[in-house]
Structures are given as structure tokens and as C-alpha cells.
Structure 1
């Protein structure tokens, strides 16, 4: 009668603990593959980031009348589609003058400025004074940047007749001239003649002399 031999335990499969570890490892691997595939799908389906554009914003609170300089602003990135028309560029500074106050972080646009100030670059304390040219031919030859002398006619105190002229301003710079066809003043009516005055850059003492000579001035252009 043959005897039954005991089973060879060395050839048996992995135990329950090993099988659980393998199943858990397979689950983690499957979960990782699913997550990776999902991330790739989301990346492929997500819309591209909108283009951006560098713009200038105020780096601090700025009052109306401030002359903008590079130290007053900083560059930030805005969505290109959200940038309004008329933004100021770094190449336009310094020069523009704020027409309204600007808070820190606000965008710089031309609608918030009134262009370069008439007195930008002039010495501190310089004033812009109005001078009547006295001669339409001289007015036609003037342009901003011209250098002129301003003379004031003098009169005989007894007869009131012209007695000569005195120089009330020497070698002053013309800041602005009236546009062709401009009226003779802000309150001029329809029948008023053309404007005949210009703005010049002067110190306070010269501005006082020009004011005292109003209506008697003549402008002489200086050769440069």
C-alpha cells in the first residue's frame, strides 16, 4: 500500500499578506496613471493664457499739476485686452502734467494729463506771462522757442504823445503763440479780431513790469 507524502510547502504560491501587498501596489499604480492622464487631458483642454502687456501705473499718490517723471511710475503687466486706448509710454516721460489726482496703482492715460507743461525745463520760479505783440507781421514770424525782447512805449505825461520806449524784458523765451484764426481772448465775441498776444517765460519782477505795460508793448525778435 503506497503512503501519501506531505505536500511540498516550498513550491506553494505567495501567502495572503504578499497578495494583499501586490494588489495594493497595483491599485496605487493604476490611480497614479489615471491622475497623470487626467492632468494631461486638463492641460490639453485648458485655454491658453491671455497675452499681457507692460503698462505704467502710479507708484504713489500724485496730485493734480504734478509733472510726471520716471520715478513716479512703475511697470506692471495687464491683460492686453483690458488695456484702454491712450496709455502713456515710458518714452513719453518726463513731461506730461496731471490734470487730475492719481492714486497709487492707477493706470496712466493721456486723458488724465494735459500734455507737457509750458514751463517744463525752465528754472524754478519762472512764470508764464502774456505779452501783446503789437504787430501782426511779427506775430506771424514767432514760434515757441523764439527769443524776444519786449519794449513798452512811453508817453509824454503832459501831451500824451509817444515819447519813446523802454525795454521791460530782455532775451525771454516764447512759450506759446495763438493758433491761426484764434479770437482775441477767451471772452471775445464773433466780431473780435485775431489774437495778438503770446506767452513768454519770465521771472516775477519782469512779469510785474509786463503787467504794468499792458497795452503798450512791442515785441522785437532776437537773432540766435
Structure 2
């Protein structure tokens, strides 16, 4: 008789811990259902490092940044930043917006094959005379004894060679936003062949103003 009683008691003893396990599982599932999910976010492009004005953006200059919808700045760029040129400097982590880059509409006015090309002119005083819409000739001047010939009085001035002519100026970043480098930055509209020629012209660049 005791053996029969033991057989009947064993399911009872097992039923209690199983019930407790099921109750704990149900409670955990209820808590998981009530727990709020991750907050919504919007992916935008941001500067991966400090960038000076005139930077032609490359993949290494940008990173993805997730922001709450309320924190996304107006005009934030979410994709397609590569190849665009900064009209002003950016700090690391700053979201990229439409006012930070030279507008596509301005370049489109010069033709479908036009690109924005930043050049650094050694004579910063000359650059102060430039305005958007001016046209300039760009010259490459060999530096005498490692120093750039900054004026026509230099004996090296006669060795200047023309790199590109009648280029429209599309941006002149303020000097205090130019990254603290020597000379001054100008962004001009060029075709791709002119951009290649300017990139290979070296650091000794001078300009003459040909019209507006």
C-alpha cells in the first residue's frame, strides 16, 4: 500500500516546481513584451575627423551617425556625400548638411561635366580680392630656393607656366576657416581634365583675375 501511495505522491511533488517554472517563464515573457524597444533613430553622414574648407569628401572623411529624429538638423545629408566639396570647415562628429557643401545647382550652370576643384594659392592677399563669379587664370610658379615667389618682382616669376585659364570662382572660404595653412583656398569650377592638371601642378600656384 505504501508503494502505491509513493507512486501517487511523486507526480504531485513534480507538479509544483514545474508550475513555478512555467509561472517564472510567463512573467519573463510579459516583462519582455512590456520592455520598450530601442528608440527610433535616423542615419546621417557626419565628419569622421576635423575637415578644412574646400575638402573634396572621400569615404575616409565621413562616417554614419545615428541621431534621434528630433536631433536631425535641417538639410542633413544621409547618403551621396563622396566627391562633394566643403564650403566651410567641419568638426569631427558634426552632421553633414546641404549648407556645408557647394551646391549642385551652381555647378550645373557650368555644364554636366563640371566639378568643384579646390586650389591653394600661395599669395593670400590676391585671394582676398576674389569673389564668387570671378574668372581667374591659374599659374604654376617654381619656388626659388624652396620659398614661393610671391610677387612679379621675383626673378623666378618669368618661369611661371599656365595651368588653366578663365576658371569661374565658385567659393572663397573665409581665411579664418581655412584650417590655418599657408596661402589661401579658392574653389573653382573645372572640367575633369583641368582638375587633374591643377592637382598635379604642385604647391606654387598663383592666379590672375581675368574678369567676372
Q: TM-score, normalised by structure 1?
A: 0.44
Q: Which structure's residues are more often helix, by fraction?
A: 2
Task: Give the strand-richer structure, 1 or 2.
Answer: 1
- Greater Rg by CA: 1
